[in-house]
Amino acid sequence: MRINNFGTRTAALVIGGTSLAWLIGLGGGTAGAATSCNAANGHQIERIVGSGGCGAKAGAGSQAHADESSGAGTAIAVADKGGNANARNMQPGSTALAGATTRGTSYSVTTGPGALAVAQARNGGTTISVGGWGGQAVSGPAGAVCQGGFATAYDSTTGKACLRSGSIDLHN
């Protein structure tokens, strides 16, 4: 279904949902400790624990943060030129990828198994991608794309947003 006048409501829904998912992820936890990777100002780090891993790389004046809390997934964050990239994977078999450049801020979160979330921020914009159960969410230069089970994405630079859950498929 295509909706022409849904920009503000969709952006609020996407941002609210992503914030809620992020807070649940920070407040909750698994029996094992999360694998965290943090980098700033020209540093890079990778960690592998069991079947899960994270990686963070940041250029000068940038920050990258990646958390992998499932023990069997991947979280990667890369930032450059003053960007701020944040990736959080919470489920096995899922991947969260976040990239940010030129003062952009990206948030990529996976909340369900078999999910993929990709957020690519640029030019001072914000991108948010949340991949749920079997969902693929991508936000970046091409706008926002949501596929599979559950996915939601938003890109402030293009003004594009989407939400997909089962037979519900909303996008602008």
Sequence letter at residue 84: N
pLDDT of 11 higher than 80: no
Q: What is the pLDDT of residue 166?
A: 86
Domain ranges of the chain: 10-25+33-171
String of DSSP letters for 24-93: HHHH---SSPPEEEEEESS-EEEEEETTEEEEEEE-TT-EEEEEE-SSS-EEEEEE-TT-EEEEEE-STT
DSSP reduced 3-state for 19? helix
Q: Which of 134, 16, 36 is nearest to 88 (CA)?
A: 36
- C-beta of residue 108 within 8 angstroms of C-beta of residue 99: no
Tokens 């979280």 identify what position? 75
Residues 6 or more apart from 23 whose CB is under 8 A from it? none
Q: What is the pLDDT of residue 118?
A: 98
- C-beta of residue 135 within 8 angstroms of C-beta of residue 113: no
Q: What is the pLDDT of residue 30?
A: 43
For residue 28, name the pLDDT band (cuts at 50, 70, 90). Answer: very low
Q: Which of 132, 169, 170, 172 is nearest to 156 (CA)?
A: 172
For residue 23, name the pLDDT band (cuts at 50, 70, 90). Answer: very low
Q: What is the pLDDT of residue 34?
A: 82
Q: What is the pLDDT of residue 156?
A: 97
DSSP reduced 3-state for 162? strand
pLDDT of 7 higher than 60: no
Q: What is the pLDDT of residue 29?
A: 42
CA 118 to chain centroid, in Å, comes to: 6
Q: Record the pTM.
A: 0.82
Dump pLDDT digits (tens) for 71-108. Answer: 999 999 999 999 999 999 999 999 999 999 999 999 99
